[in-house]
């Protein structure tokens, strides 16, 4: 059975864009019927074949986020079906990908390996220190072939994303590891990221691969809401188009070329409902989220949607625009799961006739023989040397060695685990600590208040983590960087009390153009109450600073990162500040300086309260 081959269409993207413009585009998105309360692990059939068949396999993952090393702390395990399984790490991901490909090959199923965005961005230091070139090199090594972009692919801007795809040394830092950077061997697809000048996607919108002679089309894109969750400075030259309209446009183009088996790689997702025990990795219990109405508007030729963004695992089938089943999957995050999708194609109709999907855990632990996993004296899970892929480990070790002197430097200490899990009011202990760190870092500029976006807090601080052999409670620079990996600037600006209240009101959907509730983390001394039942614009009350009510007419010096100050996460009211001053260094430097005064205790998470 021949391996699937990539073939580029014999016409340029510009010609495809013209063809796409000639195809009818559906109108505005319509509300979808609610999905059934429960789904079973996914299996979809589309009637008996009308000719001979071809069998194949898609392997996929999403939201890798440069997780070269196995995750640690509370993120070290996949919690599903009432059990916890240690998982992740690129050398284990490579092993499981090779194992699943070999199993499929033995069954006569050639494999295509695909991603659904956020492979890079918000990455640990081992990747971020080299502008995520290590992650791309490792994605090449593990055999990734095609992926959509995600919002984090734009963290360093459009020009940097194009360099990541095509190769070449970084324009400022050069090739830091001493080797030329040759770019991604896989293809990034960006159908709905459109250049404002040319009107064309900045990267290919689609790709066609052949499975034993039958074409399969891939459409790739990020969520339309990407501009609200990345730094606006890096994406000023592009616009992000509607997911349904864009997917159907390029679906119709693929149909013009006779491609009727189509896969959408979409960096947008949903989640299963909260339950005890936690639903399984291949379940679809009480599924909801933005993905449901998107799938409901898709052409029926798009039979598979490989999704991401929410960092949740699921394996579903949702109704498309014709009411037929579309298989919808997500493999969680950080390379801890792989989605294994088996399918059958009809040679005559060139359509899918059957699709099944399940998620496979990328186990990295050592079984203890009693249904659990071996741990060391500090309680960390032992890693299994028998499931390490030597080739992937060789590449990873090169960068681990290069970054170790920086990453393993002890910068401070904590007295206990400090977690980013938010309480009912939306406040987390680690959010408090980071806000306090930024306030302390800018006290010399007169700062009185600091605000931190919760999405910028990427990991917990675990007291027992020992990345470089450090003692309990000691924190390394690499661990701090994993918590705040964006290298945002720290800025202080003047807001009136009325503007500050409007910023806090903009945490809630329906005010100032906000579409998603996002509770900012606040520094010590600032307290307030919010009410979910109050009208937009009137949810915040009892707003005080050090016990004194905020005066709407008074001026206050407020510190944030520049992502927020530029209007990120929908906080456009923060752009109204005046007299902006930028502190030296980056936001992680503020955290490091604060940790150096430790041991730092977990934040109290009592600065924000809720009312009926």
Residue that finishes a domain, picked among 330, 360, 395: 395
Mean pLDDT along residues 335-341:
98
Give the separation between CA 482 and CA 461, rounded to whole angstroms. 9
Q: 287 and 389: one domain?
A: yes
Q: Is residue 457 scored above 60 in pLDDT?
A: yes
Nearest Cα neighbor of 393 from 180, 73, 89 is 89
Do the domain assignments include residue 4? Answer: no
* Distance (Å, whole) CA 490 – CA 302: 44
Largest Cα separation within the chain, whole Å, is 77
- Do β-strands 146-148 and 187-189 pair in parallel, antiparallel, or remain unpaired? parallel
Rounded mean pLDDT, 350-376: 96
DSSP state of 22: T
SS3 for 273-311 is CCCCCCCCCCCEECCECCHHHHHHCCCCCEEEEEECCCC
Contact, 123 vs 132, CB < 8 A? yes
Are 502 and 446 within one domain?
yes
Q: What is the CATH number of the domain that holds 251?
A: 3.60.21.10
Label residue 248 exposed, middle or buried (CB < 10 Å: 0-12, 13-18, 19+): buried
Summarised one tens digit per residue, pLDDT across range 218-255 is 999 999 999 989 988 899 999 999 999 999 999 999 99
Is 405 domain-assigned? no
User: Where would I find the H helices in 80-212?
Assistant: 90-106, 125-128, 133-142, 158-166
Whether residue 337 sits in one domain with residue 364 = yes
Confirm if 14 and 205 have CB atoms less than 8 A apart.
Answer: no
Q: Which of 106-110, 467-471, 594-598 has the lowest mean pLDDT?
A: 467-471
pLDDT at 27 (0 to 100): 38
Predicted confidence at residue 11, as pLDDT, reads: 39
Q: Tell me, what's the pLDDT at 40?
A: 59
Cα separation, 121 vs 485, whole angstroms: 8
**385 shares its domain with 429:** no
Distance CA 78, CA 221 (A): 27
Query: Residue 468 has what pLDDT?
Result: 79
Residue 383 falls inside a structural domain? yes
Q: Do 606 and 484 share a structural domain?
A: yes
In angstroms, the CA 290 to CA 415 distance is 39
Whether residue 436 sits in one domain with residue 380: no
Q: Do residues 328 and 467 share a domain?
A: no
266 closest CA partner among 339, 153, 189, 166: 189
Q: At 13, is the pLDDT very low, low, confident or very high (cuts 50, 70, 90)?
A: very low
Are the C-beta atoms of residues 482 and 572 closer than 8 Å to each other? no
Do 264 and 144 belong together in one domain?
yes
pLDDT higher than 70, residue 130:
yes
367 exposure class (CB count in 10 Å sphere: 0-12, 13-18, 19+): exposed
Whether the predicted pLDDT of 46 surpasses 70: yes
Q: Are residues 377 and 465 in the same domain?
A: no
Q: Is the peptide bond before 198 cis (omega within 30 degrees of 0)?
A: no
Rounded Cα–Cα distance for residues 231 and 557 (Å):
22
Q: Would you say residue 10 lies in a domain? A: no
Q: Give the domain CATH number at 476.
A: 3.90.780.10
Domain annotation covers residue 586 = yes
pTM of this prediction exceeds 0.75: yes
Number of folded domains that form the chain: 2
Q: Are 319 and 302 in contact (CB under 8 A)?
A: no
Which of these, 555, 537, 516, 464, lies nearest to 76 by C-alpha position?
Answer: 464
Cα(399)–Cα(135) distance, rounded to whole angstroms? 10
Question: Among 395, 422, 440, where does a domain finish?
Answer: 395
Between 82 and 134, name the one with better pLDDT.
134
- For the cut 80, the answer to whether the pLDDT of residue 170 exceeds it is yes
On average, the pLDDT of the chain sits at: 93
Q: Check whether residue 309 and residue 456 sit in a common domain.
A: no
In a domain, 223, yes or no: yes
Residue 7 included in any domain = no
pLDDT in tens, 514-531: 999 999 999 999 999 999
pLDDT at position 72 is: 86
Are residues 510 and 466 located together in one domain of the fold? yes
Q: What is the mean pLDDT of residues 148-174?
A: 96
| Pick from 18-27, 219-228, 449-458, 582-591: least confident | 18-27
Domain-embedded: residue 454: yes
Task: Report whether pLDDT(389) > 80.
Answer: yes
Burial 205-241 (b: 16+ CB within 10 A, else e): bbbbbbbbebbbbbbbbbbbbbbbbbbeebbeebebb
**Helices and strands in the chain, H and E counts:** 13, 31
pLDDT of residue 587: 97
Any bridge partners for residue 559, and if so which? 450, 492
List the domain range (segments joined by +) for residue 187: 42-395
Query: Which of 395, 422, 439 is the last residue in one of the domains?
Result: 395
Predicted pLDDT of residue 467: 77
Phi and psi at residue 283, in whole multiples of 5°?
Answer: -90, 175
If one compares 46 and 30, the residue with the highest pLDDT of the two is 46
pLDDT per residue over 418-443, tens digit each? 999 999 999 999 999 999 999 999 99
d(CA 517, CA 607): 18
Q: Note whether 472 and 533 are same-domain residues.
A: yes
How open is the CA angle 203-205-207, to the nearest 5 degrees?
Answer: 110
Model confidence pLDDT, tens digit, residues 287-315: 999 999 999 999 999 999 999 999 999 99
């Amino acid at each position: 059975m021949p391996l699937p081959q990539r073939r580029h269409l014999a016409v340029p993207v510009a010609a495809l864009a013209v063809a796409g413009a000639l195809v009818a585009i559906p109108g505005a998105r319509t509300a979808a019927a609610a999905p059934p309360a429960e789904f079973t692990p996914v299996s979809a059939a589309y009637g008996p074949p009308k000719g001979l068949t071809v069998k194949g396999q898609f392997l996929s993952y999403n939201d890798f986020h440069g997780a070269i090393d196995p995750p640690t702390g509370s993120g070290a395990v996949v919690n599903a079906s009432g059990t916890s399984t240690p998982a992740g790490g690129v050398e284990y991901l490579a092993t499981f990908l090779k194992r699943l490909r070999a199993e499929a090959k033995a069954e006569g199923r050639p494999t295509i390996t695909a991603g659904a965005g956020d492979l890079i961005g918000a990455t640990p230091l081992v990747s971020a220190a080299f502008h995520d070139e290590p992650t791309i090199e490792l994605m090449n090594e593990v055999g990734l072939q095609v992926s959509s972009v995600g919002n984090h692919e734009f963290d360093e801007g459009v020009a940097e994303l194009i360099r990541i795809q095509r190769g070449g040394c970084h324009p400022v830092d050069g090739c830091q590891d001493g080797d030329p950077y040759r770019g991604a061997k896989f293809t990034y697809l960006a159908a709905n990221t459109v250049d404002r000048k040319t009107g064309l996607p900045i990267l290919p919108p689609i790709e066609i691969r052949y499975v034993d002679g039958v074409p399969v089309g891939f459409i790739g894109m990020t969520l339309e809401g990407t501009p609200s969750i990345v730094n606006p400075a890096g994406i000023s030259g592009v616009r992000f188009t509607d997911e349904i309209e864009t997917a159907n446009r390029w679906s119709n183009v693929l149909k013009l070329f006779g491609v009727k088996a189509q896969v959408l790689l979409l960096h947008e997702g949903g989640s299963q409902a909260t339950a005890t025990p936690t639903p399984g990795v291949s379940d679809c219990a009480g599924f909801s989220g933005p993905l449901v109405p998107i799938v409901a508007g898709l052409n029926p030729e798009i039979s598979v949607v490989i999704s991401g963004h929410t960092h949740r695992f699921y394996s579903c089938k949702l109704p498309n625009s014709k009411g037929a089943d579309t298989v919808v999957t997500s493999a969680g995050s950080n390379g801890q799961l792989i989605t294994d999708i088996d399918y059958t194609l009809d040679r005559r109709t060139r359509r899918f006739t059957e699709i099944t999907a399940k998620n496979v855990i990328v186990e990295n632990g050592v079984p203890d023989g009693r249904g659990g996993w071996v741990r060391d004296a500090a309680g960390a899970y032992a890693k299994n040397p028998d499931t390490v892929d030597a080739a992937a480990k060789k590449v990873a070790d090169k960068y681990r060695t290069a970054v170790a002197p920086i990453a393993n430097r002890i910068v401070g200490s904590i007295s206990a685990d400090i977690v980013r899990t938010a309480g009912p009011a939306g406040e987390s202990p680690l959010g408090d600590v980071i806000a306090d760190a930024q306030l302390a870092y800018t006290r010399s500029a007169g700062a009185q208040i600091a605000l931190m976006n919760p999405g910028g807090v990427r990991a917990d601080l675990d007291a027992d983590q020992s990345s470089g052999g450090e003692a309990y409670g000691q924190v390394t620079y690499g661990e701090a960087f994993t918590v705040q990996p964006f290298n945002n600037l720290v800025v202080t600006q003047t807001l009136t009390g009325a503007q500050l209240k409007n910023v806090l009101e903009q945490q809630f959907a329906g005010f100032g153009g906000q579409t998603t509730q996002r509770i900012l983390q606040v520094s010590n001394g600032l307290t307030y109450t919010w009410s979910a039942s109050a009208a937009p614009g009137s949810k915040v009350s009892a707003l005080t600073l050090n016990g004194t009510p905020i005066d709407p007419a008074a001026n206050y010096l407020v510190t944030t990162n520049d992502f927020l100050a530029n209007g990120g996460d929908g906080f456009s009211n923060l752009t109204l500040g005046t007299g902006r001053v930028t502190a030296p260094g980056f936001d992680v430097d503020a955290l490091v300086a604060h940790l150096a005064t430790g041991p730092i205790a977990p934040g109290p998470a009592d600065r924000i309260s809720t009312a009926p």
